[in-house]
Amino acid sequence: MELNGRFCEIESVKSTGDDWTLDVKVLPDRPDAKTPEGFARELSAIMGWPMKKGLALVADKKNARAQVQFTPQKINEILGLQLSGAEIASFLKRVRVGTKESSNVWGAYIPADRTDLNLVEDLADEVMRLYGVDNIPSVALPALNLVPLPSVYEAAQKARAILVSLGYTEIYSYSFSAAGEREVEKSLASHKSFLRTNLSDALRETLLSHLDHALFETEAARVFEIGTVFFKDREELHLAAGIAYNKEKYKKESLPSWFPHTDWSQTSVICEMPLGELVSVLAGKECPGIVPLVNLDVQYRSFSLYPRIIRDIALFVPSGVRAEDVESVIRENAGPLLAEGPVKFDEFSKAGESRTSLAFRIAFQSHKKTLSDAEANEALSSIVSALEKHPLWQVRK
């Protein structure tokens, strides 16, 4: 384990009776360590084990392949250490690099097989790996003043904050497509030979899949992407946003005036434009912050590829009972088949009545099979009986 990360990675160690076989990946800059002799030299250097005579020769003026000038100060400045010249020389000696010093200018004699050692930085690398990267102290980098962000980058961030706060979900699609103006050599598949010229095509597909998976038929799908598209003479960062109410109607819209939002009530629209056109529109604009939209604490749950079964639950509760209270009872008693919801879709109370009617939608789904109605009903009935344990809650059947 001591050897890992010094010049090689040890893949496996096997006993062959009275000896051992090591499977070792040598880092690409060290071809010299690929021979048994070279490997033995490295073992000796790192572990401090004695070498057979002849193998251990430290290079000197007569047999050196080259001489590299260095100062201990320069090596210390690269590594953030305070080693003396003698300490550095002793590290180098372990890898058979001889040294000489005159008035604080040092010369390193490079052995013939170490073709990778040519610069003072290469010597610093040798010292670093023998000293151990872990042993080099971490030192705080003093902070500097805030530096402005590129205007297009900032516009992208604002556009994202606005769109997400309006209910749009961000997607990343593929840069490769079946048609376009720039073609790649040796593409992975014929439908991935070109680079995309727009984001709208992929967005349209995504809108359809979002409609397919919506919990309510009346629910609009809202999706956007910010990404690079490629034309014959240039590449361009685009923003595309789309809203779909149903699968048939689409209106193509390309006016930047669309942004940030116009009420397209019940009209499905996809809008695409170069992000650069939005820089001035967004520059002076008050925008929702991006920070609250970032949550690293999410634990992703893989979704099932089997069909789901949707069920609704409606109940009367005394006025003052919050929908969230009911939702948590549903969630806690739904069992492992609950895949989506509960989502409240109705709430009303008649004037003069002291009770409220609430309605929630949930979806059941299994990771292992297509659910039967009976299985969904069983899960539903355990929710219903948990709700009915509250004496004043009345589930409507």
Partner 1 sequence: MGHLHPLTQIIYTAERYFRELGFTVAEGPEIESERYNFDALNIPADHPARAMQDTFYLKESVAPPSHKASEGKPLLRTHTTAVDAHYLEEHEPPFRIIAPGRVFRNEATDATHEAQFYQIDGLVVAEDVHLGHLKWILEEFYKHIFGAHLEFRWRRSFFSFVEPGVELDIKWGGKWLEVVGAGMLHPNVFAAAGRDPQKWRGLAFGTGLDRIAMIKYSISDIRLFYGGDPRFSKQF
Cβ atoms of 310 and 186 closer than 8 Å: no
**In the complex, what is the shortest distance from the CB of residue 281 to partner 1, in angstroms, rounded to a whole number?**
20
CB of 128 to partner 1, least distance (A): 5
Q: Contact 347/373 with Cβ under 8 angstroms?
A: no
Residues in Cβ contact with 388 at an 8 Å cutoff, skipping those fewer than 6 apart: 394, 395
Q: Kindly state the smallest distance separating residue 296's Cβ from partner 1, in Å.
A: 6
Comparing CB distances to partner 1, the nearer of 119 and 392 is: 119
Q: For residues 268 and 243, is the Cβ–Cβ distance under 8 A?
A: yes
Contacts of 160 (CB under 8 A, 6+ apart): 170, 224, 226, 290, 293
Q: For partner 1, give the closer residue by CB, 67 or 165.
A: 165
Instruction: Quickly list H helices, 284-389.
Output: 323-333, 373-388
CB 191 within 8 A of CB 177: yes
Q: Which is nearer to partner 1, 104 or 145 (CB)?
A: 145
Q: Minimal distance in Å, beta carbon 169 to partner 1?
A: 4
Residue 263 phi/psi, 5-degree rounding, is -80, 105
Of residues 183 and 332, the one with the C-beta less far from partner 1: 183
Q: What's the half-sphere exposure (Cβ side, CA atoms, 13 Å) at 221?
A: 25
Minimum Å gap between C-beta 386 and partner 1 is: 26
Please, what is the minimum distance in Å from the beta carbon of residue 249 to partner 1? 20
Question: CB-wise, 182 or 355, nearer to partner 1?
Answer: 182
Question: How many angstroms from the chain centroid is the CA of residue 27?
Answer: 27
How far apart (Å, rounded) are the C-alpha atoms in residues 10 and 22? 7
d(CA 342, CA 137): 52
* Amino acid sitting at position 284: G
| Tokens, residue 234 | 């240039």
Minimum CB distance to partner 1, residue 217 (Å): 15
Q: What are the CA-CA distances from residue 26 to residues 3, 37, 267, 355 (Å)? A: 11, 14, 61, 75
Count of CA atoms in the C-beta half-sphere (13 A) of 90? 6
Q: How far is the CB of 337 from partner 1 (least distance, A)?
A: 15
Q: Which of 296/374 has CB closer to partner 1?
A: 296
In the bound state with partner 1, the residue whose beta carbon lies nearer, of 19 and 233, is 233
Phi, psi values for residue 356, rounded to 5°:
-120, 140
> Minimum Å distance from CB 196 to partner 1?
11
Query: Residue 15 or 145: which CB sits closer to partner 1?
Result: 145
d(CA 32, CA 115): 8
Comparing CB distances to partner 1, the nearer of 344 and 390 is 344
Is the CB of 175 or the CB of 357 nearer to partner 1?
175
Q: Name residues whose C-beta falls within 8 Å of residue 101's C-beta, 6 or more positions apart in sequence.
A: 85, 89, 107
Q: Which is nearer to partner 1, 209 or 370 (CB)?
A: 209
Return the H-helix or E-strand segment holding 86: helix 85-94
Closest CA to 277 of 294, 261, 256, 292: 256
Q: Does the CA dihedral 285-288-293-294 come out positive or negative? A: positive
Minimum separation from the CB atom of position 70 to partner 1 (A): 13
Compute the least distance from the CB of residue 254 to partner 1, in Å. Answer: 21
